[in-house]
Structure 1
Amino acid sequence: MALKENRKMENSKLVSIVIPCYNDKAYIEESVNSALNQSYENTEIIIVDDGSDEATKKILSGFNHVKIKLITQENKGLSAARNAGIANAQGEYILTLDADDFFENSFLEKAVPVLESDRSVGVVGCFTQCFVDKNRIIFKYRPKGGSIGDFLYGNSAVGNSLFRKQCWLDAGGYDEKMRKGYEDWEFWISVTKRNWKIYIIEEFLFNYRKKENSMLQITNLLHEEENYQYVLNKHKELYIEDFDQTIAFLQKRTLKYKTNEIKRLTSIDYKLGNSILKPFRFLKKIFKSKK
């Protein structure tokens, strides 16, 4: 039986599972265990410590498994950490996994055959469950995947997916200038514009942890317009080619922004905050006039 398993390993492609980690001491063990417990066995696990605190470093140094390799660097952001891990990967296939999320054990067993059977597919993702804790799923996400036209105006895949290392090489890696979110979306545009397709397994095999008051989510919201502008400028030839759709997209975003701004300005919290600050603004004017 052992001989049979060894032959199976020899005939299967190596998958490098890259896990960037920044101060994720509370969740990293669950993430690493989901990588170790994949039913597809021919894997290596590369953890990239992206300048974590001492408590996280202590946990990372405690991982003692033949499959695990630890890379340490100063804090450079998610894109740089992923690039460092992939650059050191031996596998032909790459699976990215954030340190606070986890895959179901069967993901690779179901995803690898898709890449093996269709050379036009560069990326394999799946449906996603978003949870706060294991007993509280707050929503389910069903991305559609596809080709470049499916990614120009929004992300149609999850960031943690299986892809050919060649896709990463073709795209020039993750854009390390994007440290304020949306790096996954930009990466998929860079991949699909080179004619790779993204396939989605219609099963909930990935679990995304939504942290309350997550700094990443707050950063993404604060820099949303800046990120959109960066992506549109970087791939402007695609948006110019699809001019009519681009104009419709920008008009829709402008309307959304105006609607959100009206809601903010008419909210009770805003009005209350304004009424509290009003006397202080009056005092400020008095002091200014006396100078």
Structure 2
Amino acid sequence: MPKVSIVVPAFNAARTLPGTLASLLGQSYTDLEVIVVDDGSEDGTAAQVRALSDPRLRLLVQENRGLSGARNSGIRAARGAYIGFCDADDLWRADKLAAHVRHLDETPAIGLSYSGSALIDAAGRPLGLSQRPRLGAVRPDHVFLRNPVGNGSAAVIRRATLAAIAWRPASEPARDWYFDETFRQSEDIECWLRIALTTDWQIAGIPGALTLYRIHQGGLSAAADRQLAGWERMVAKLTPLAPDFFARHTPAARAYQLRYLARRAVSAGDGRMALRLALRGIAASPHPLWAEPAKSASTLAAACALRLFGAAALGRLGAA
């Protein structure tokens, strides 16, 4: 039995999947299996997997269930004590898995280990930006406000931690859910928050930008309203688990979410959307203004400059 299973959800990912698999099968830690879940692809994604002969590689093919559904299928098939996730357009640095295995082996109380991420563009070129999250003493409010895990390709989780949050909806006769398949946005933070709020497992990070996280510029601003609606639905779903927690922290968390979406809109060149989101964030809560004044000010300045003068007026934003 491999010690680690890496689940790769893949939907029409034939162009980027070979690079993703090369980065995973090329890990310095080799006691692993890679489970690709072809989630109803129509572009030859499965053929890319079948063309490889590595015995550590497994393929599941299913009708489209979305990202959460593909992850749940991969978890169900996984044999490892530790389960990592990497989307089919992202990459792992060669020493990422070894670092997470060491982290989890040495600290049995940690249930979810994560790293920072360097951002790459659609062609795989470095953007010179990175996600540098908080690494230690992570509380539920840290997860809610700033989501230090960062993205769905950064985490390696104990099987026991996932078992602690599993449930089976009445409509699902054969398999447990770990990620909520009714979500198409905010499914990652919804899962991380359930771990933080309902279990005793610790969440902690390791140094280094060990994930290469791909940013697709097209449609970023157009998706902002959908992303915000998904985030608000996540809050509504989880509030009954900890009403006092959400009453206390939701305004600040909403402000951070709006600032994040404003920065994505700036990256997409949509000044109108960026300014609207930035101002909504300030109105939601002043917390980001005093907690991270430089980042908040740069976001507002970039949104204003883009709205008034266009992309030529912008300098480069800092970390995403």
How does the TM-score come out when normalised to structure 2? Answer: 0.71
C-alpha spacing 1:267/1:241, structure 2 compared with 1 (3 Å): closer
Report how far residue 41 of structure 1 moved.
Answer: 1.0
1:234 aligns with 2:237: yes
1:163 aligns with 2:168: no
Any stretches of 5+ residues in structure 2 without a counterpart? 167-177, 260-275, 282-302, 310-320
Q: Distance in 2 between matches of 1:110 and 1:253?
A: 30
SS at match of 1:153: helix
Q: What is the number of residues matched between the two proteins?
A: 254
Contact 1:154–1:185 (CA<8 Å) still a contact in 2? no
Q: Report the residue type matching 1:259 in the other structure.
A: L
Paired position in structure 2 for 1:246: 250
Paired position in structure 2 for 1:88: 77
Report how far residue 213 of structure 1 moved.
Answer: 0.7
Report how far residue 43 of structure 1 moved.
Answer: 0.3
Of 105, 127, 134, the match for 1:116: 105
Paired position in structure 1 for 2:194: 190
Structure of greater Rg: 1
C-alpha spacing 1:254/1:25, structure 2 compared with 1 (3 Å): closer
1:136 aligns with 2:117: no
Report how far residue 218 of structure 1 moved.
Answer: 5.6
How many percent identity over aligned positions?
Answer: 25
Q: Report the residue type matching 2:279 in the other structure.
A: T
Report how far residue 112 of structure 1 moved.
Answer: 0.6
Q: Distance in 2 between matches of 1:218 and 1:98?
A: 21
- Greater shift, 219-228 or 44-53, is seen at 219-228
SS at match of 1:99: coil
Of 48, 58, 70, the match for 1:69: 58
Paired position in structure 2 for 1:59: 48
How does the TM-score come out when normalised to structure 1? Answer: 0.78
Q: Report the residue type matching 1:183 in the other structure.
A: E
Contact 1:147–1:196 (CA<8 Å) still a contact in 2? no
C-alpha spacing 1:58/1:207, structure 2 compared with 1 (3 Å): same
Runs of 4+ in 1 over 6 A off after TM superposition: 251-256
Q: Report the residue type matching 1:209 in the other structure.
A: R
C-alpha spacing 1:59/1:36, structure 2 compared with 1 (3 Å): same
Q: Distance in 2 between matches of 1:77 and 1:95?
A: 18
C-alpha spacing 1:225/1:211, structure 2 compared with 1 (3 Å): closer
Matches within 5 A, 1:1-291: 14-132=3-121, 133-145=123-135, 146-158=138-150, 159-160=152-153, 161-172=155-166, 173-179=178-184, 181-193=185-197, 194-213=199-218, 217=220, 220-236=223-239, 237-241=241-245, 243-249=247-253, 257=277, 259=279
Any stretches of 5+ residues in structure 1 without a counterpart? 1-9, 270-291
Report how far residue 260 of structure 1 moved.
Answer: 5.9
